């Protein structure tokens, strides 16, 4: 588990193509690697990756084809900057919100407006996760725990202060930048809970007569 509080910035220094998968090497001069062991998890731009090799200032991780397809890793190249956070320990200060490192979708920066004290970022989320994004709720963007300041359909707005811009890769964002999004896990559980006993029923595929009757499209 993570908190969405970025510990350091890293750079992708190597991408080894292994057929459908890739082996990723991330280097960082500021991430404390002294307590990292093989098998530990490090959130890399919000994606939970398992450390398969490491040194004093780098780690390697294997990224599956499924992860590449569902995250912004499809857009990353050697030299790309990434946000880094080691897995949370029970004794750590909980500064952000509950982050699992499981990306729900890839959004796109749709507008950037500069103000005197902050920068306003608008991000367009995939339609299927828009329902989980709420005004004043939490969302993870490239591993950063952020508060949603406004919602307009599938787009949401963030107010980002200079400190966050300096300590994360958000300072490099441009209109069109692809970003990893993870919605608040509580919203996911709430949706499931609201199904009640129906949660145990197999998922329905397509529309049948029973569905139409249940949703008021057929007269009794």
The pLDDT tens digits of the residues spanning 179-188 come to 999 999 888 8
Mean pLDDT of 194-208: 73
The reply to whether 77 falls in a domain is yes
Which tokens sit at 33? Answer: 């690697």
Residue 107 and residue 121: Cα distance in Å, rounded?
A: 12
Residue 19 region by backbone torsions, left for phi larger than 0, else alpha for psi between -120 and 50, else beta: left
Residue 166 and residue 162: Cα distance in Å, rounded?
A: 6
Looking at residue 211, its pLDDT comes to 61
Residue 81 and residue 43: Cα distance in Å, rounded?
A: 13
Mean pLDDT of 171-191: 92
Looking at residue 67, its pLDDT comes to 92
Examine the fold and report which residue of 53, 86, 119 is the final residue of a domain before the chain moves on. 86
Mean pLDDT of 118-128: 97
Same domain, 80 and 147: no
Cβ density class 113-148: b for 16+ within 10 Å, e for less: eeeeebbebbbbbeeebbebbeeebbbbbbbbbbeb
Q: What pLDDT band is residue 220 in, cutting at 50, 70 and 90?
A: low
DSSP label at residue 45: T
Same domain, 125 and 174: yes
Beta bridge partners of 161: none
Same domain, 80 and 114: no
Looking at residue 201, its pLDDT comes to 78
pLDDT of 194 > 90? The answer is: no
The reply to whether 20 falls in a domain is yes
Q: What pLDDT band is residue 205 in, cutting at 50, 70 and 90?
A: low
Q: What pLDDT band is residue 90 in, cutting at 50, 70 and 90?
A: confident
Say if residues 78 and 15 touch (Cβ distance below 8 Å). Answer: yes
The reply to whether 215 falls in a domain is no
Structural domain containing residue 40: 8-86
Q: Between 26 and 92, name the one with better pLDDT.
A: 26
Mean pLDDT of 13-37: 93
Same domain, 71 and 110: no
Which tokens sit at 55? Answer: 């040194």
Same domain, 21 and 66: yes
Looking at residue 19, its pLDDT comes to 81
Residue spans of alpha helices (H) in the chain: 65-70, 162-167, 185-193, 209-214
The total domain count for the chain is: 2
Reported pTM: 0.87
DSSP label at residue 152: E
pLDDT of 5 > 60? The answer is: yes
Looking at residue 207, its pLDDT comes to 61
Q: What is the CATH number of the domain that holds 43?
A: 2.40.30.20
The reply to whether 97 falls in a domain is no
């Amino acid at each position: 588990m993570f908190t969405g509080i970025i510990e350091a910035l890293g750079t992708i220094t190597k991408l080894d193509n292994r057929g459908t998968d890739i082996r990723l090497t991330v280097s960082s001069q500021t991430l404390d690697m002294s307590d990292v062991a093989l098998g530990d998890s490090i959130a890399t731009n919000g994606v939970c990756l398992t450390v398969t090799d490491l040194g004093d200032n780098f780690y390697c991780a294997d990224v599956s084809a499924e992860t590449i397809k569902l995250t912004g890793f499809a857009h990353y190249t050697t030299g790309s900057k990434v946000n880094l956070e080691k897995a949370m320990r029970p004794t750590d200060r909980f500064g952000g919100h509950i982050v699992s490192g499981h990306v729900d979708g890839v959004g796109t920066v749709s507008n950037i407006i500069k103000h005197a004290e902050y920068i306003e970022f608008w991000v367009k989320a995939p339609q299927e996760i828009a329902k989980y994004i709420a005004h004043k709720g939490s969302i993870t963007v490239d591993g950063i725990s952020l508060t949603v300041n406004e919602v307009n359909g599938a787009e949401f707005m963030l107010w980002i202060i200079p400190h966050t811009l300096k300590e994360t890769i958000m300072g490099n964002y441009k209109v069109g930048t692809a970003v990893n999004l993870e919605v608040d896990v509580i919203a996911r559980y709430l949706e499931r809970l609201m199904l009640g006993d129906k949660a145990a029923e197999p998922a329905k595929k397509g529309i049948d007569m029973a569905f139409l009757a249940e949703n008021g499209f057929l007269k009794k």
